[in-house]
Amino acid sequence: MNKRLSVNHILGIRQLQPDDIRLILDTAVQFKDVINRPIKKVPSLRDITVANLFFENSTRTRTSFELAEKRLSADTVNFSASTSSVKKGETLIDTVNNILAMKVDMVVMRHPNPGACMFLSRHINASIINAGDGAHEHPTQALLDAFSIREKLGDLEGKKVAIIGDILHSRVALSNIYLLRKMGAQVMVCGPTTLIPKYISSLGVKVEHDLRKALKWCDVANMLRIQLERQDIKYFPSLREYSMQFGLTMELLEQAGKDILIMHPGPINRGVEITSEVADSSQSIILNQVENGVAVRMACLYLLASRAEN
């Protein structure tokens, strides 16, 4: 297998080849070993400076990237839009070029606009990792989800993954669909008609509106939050009604009659898309996903940095 990524940036899963995905996941296995050792740090990124540019709120993803960078011995600078000159009318390119002028090598960026990372990659020389661009892609989340499935169930080929919830506004859904299809998994999306985009079946996924049927079908259920902050109109009558139809409960899991792996990218809205009982059950790997996120992001940073070196 090729030991180098075919890309200079990780903008989306769409741009990655199956070999890139395999390389990132295999490299992450080694980094997971590293972060479970008493001495968790390696010198791989010692001379590299990474800027974390967060134009949108984040807890998990931001902390995970920061930790990944620290474990690799990189120097980091953190920028958040709420405390910056963006509020004074500066453009994205000017903001980033000013940061790069301070000799920054890599950029991790979360931005509310779809395509913001792609746009930036055409104007700056540093490698960019997309940490979520609007409702478009969230590649490192899909990679850590894939890593977590592989760790529990083995190869992704042929596995049945149901992505349940607000598909329309979810960057996690789109990146997961691209990745799982590229790696030969079967994908179903499930949710209210209004929250499933019409084009979705052209990506090779099944569409289901009955949660019971989706659970009967799948090996893995990836539960998504309703992205209320991205919804300009009402897509369903009330959260209560949504959770009655699409909320995952212990009772539904028992009715499915098999051990389904439960995932969620976080933040969880307990009692809406998933009950506390399910989120905290032995079938749930939600916290494993968070742990794996650091190893997967270390792999992405390391592989992009070693590509830039050569």
Binding stretches for ligand NCD (CB under 6 A): 60-61, 132, 138, 141, 171-172, 225, 265-266
Catalytic residue among 32, 138, 225, 297: 138
Residue closer to ligand NCD, measured from CB, 132 or 192? 132
- Which listed residue (27, 49, 61, 140) is catalytic? 61
Q: How far is the CB of 169 from ligand NCD (least distance, A)?
A: 9
* Closer residue to ligand NCD in complex, CB, 60/209: 60
Cα 124 off chain centre by: 24
Task: Examine the residue annotation and report whether 138 is marked as an active-site residue of this protein.
Answer: yes
Q: How far is the CB of 46 from ligand NCD (least distance, A)?
A: 28
Report how far residue 266's alpha carbon sits from residue 225's, in angstroms, rounded to the nearest whole number: 8
Q: Closest approach of Cβ 149 to ligand NCD, in Å?
A: 16
Please, which residues bridge with residue 208 across strands?
Answer: 190
- Determine which one of 88, 103, 198, 234 is catalytic: 88
Tokens found for residue 159? 């596995």
60 counts as catalytic: yes
Angle value at C-alpha 257, between 176 and 153, nearest 5 degrees: 40
Residue nearest to ligand NCD (CB): 225
Are 7 and 15 in contact, with CB atoms under 8 Å apart?
Answer: yes
Between residues 79 and 217, which has the closer beta carbon with respect to ligand NCD?
A: 79
DSSP string, 199-233: GGGGGT-EEE--HHHHHHH-SEEEE----GGG-SS
Distance from C-alpha of 40 to C-alpha of 201, rounded to nearest angstrom: 43
- Of these residues, 62, 110, 159, 171, which one is catalytic? 110
Of the residues 14, 22, 60, 216, which is catalytic? 60
Q: Which is nearer to ligand NCD, 73 or 134 (CB)?
A: 134
User: Rounded to the nearest whole angstrom, what is the least distance from the CB of residue 275 to ligand NCD in the complex?
Assistant: 17
End-to-end CA gap in the chain:
18
Residue 76: active-site member: no
Q: Are strands 220-223 and 160-164 parallel, antiparallel or unpaired?
A: parallel
Residue 119 Cα distances to 39, 78, 122, 230, angstroms: 39, 21, 6, 21
Residue 262 Cα to chain centre, angstroms? 16
52 or 61: CB nearest ligand NCD:
61
Is the CB of 27 or the CB of 61 nearer to ligand NCD? Answer: 61
Q: Is 169 a catalytic residue?
A: no
Q: Which is nearer to ligand NCD, 48 or 144 (CB)?
A: 144
Shortest Å, Cβ 23 to ligand NCD? 22
Cβ 266 to ligand NCD, closest distance in Å?
A: 5
Angstrom distances, CA of residue 283 to CA of 59, 179, 260, 278, 303: 24, 23, 7, 8, 32
Q: Is 88 known to be catalytic? A: yes
- Residue 214 CA, distance from chain mean position: 22
Strand order in the sheet with 160-164: 206-208, 186-190, 160-164, 220-223, 261-263
Q: How far is the CB of 68 from ligand NCD (least distance, A)?
A: 14
Residues annotated as catalytic are 60-61, 88, 110, 138
